[in-house]
Amino acid sequence: MDKGFNYDDVSQYTLEQEDEQALIAAQNECTFMWSTKDGWPVGVIMSYVYTRGFFWLSVSSLRVRVQAVAREPRTSISITSKGCDLEAPFSLTYKGTCEVLSDQETIDWFLAALAKRLRAGDEDAQREFVRLNNTVNRRVLKFKPVKTIGFDSRKMRQATLDAKAG
């Protein structure tokens, strides 16, 4: 094994753009992270729609994260290929900014898009999803990525093999 090789610096094992897009399309859940008013980092698993360069997420205005995002829009999203039909383990983290939207036009568009993504092929289930989620407290989080941190385990695996052979 190459004596100079180690796993301390994995920054070289970045995810290529085509793999990033494949992961976003294959997965439908992310971990959405924000900071509490006391500065604590918090994250929850949320379903998303990715379109027009933004991640769109559904939330009730009764959730603490709505006030947190309004107070501090710097947030993060993390996505992994765990549970997907992708050939290799990938992961992505995005640093970004988020805004809370409450206009009915956005809510209607988003709920229909999310229902189609989560209940693909079942129009009755999609309609029921929209009906149950279209409440007076419904909000949409619009997340804009500003920095991408991707990891492709295939590259790390190949570097390990190369170091062993070297």
What domains are defined for the chain? Answer: 17-165 (2.30.110.10)
pLDDT digits over 24-78, tens only? 999 999 999 999 999 999 999 999 999 999 999 999 999 999 999 999 999 999 9
* Dist. CA 155–CA 74, nearest whole Å: 30
Strand partners, 78: 31, 93
157 vs 53, which has greater pLDDT? 53
pLDDT tens figures, 19-28: 899 999 999 9
Which of 102, 48, 52 is closest to 75 using CA atoms?
48
Q: Give residue for tokens 């992505």.
A: 92
pTM (two decimals): 0.89
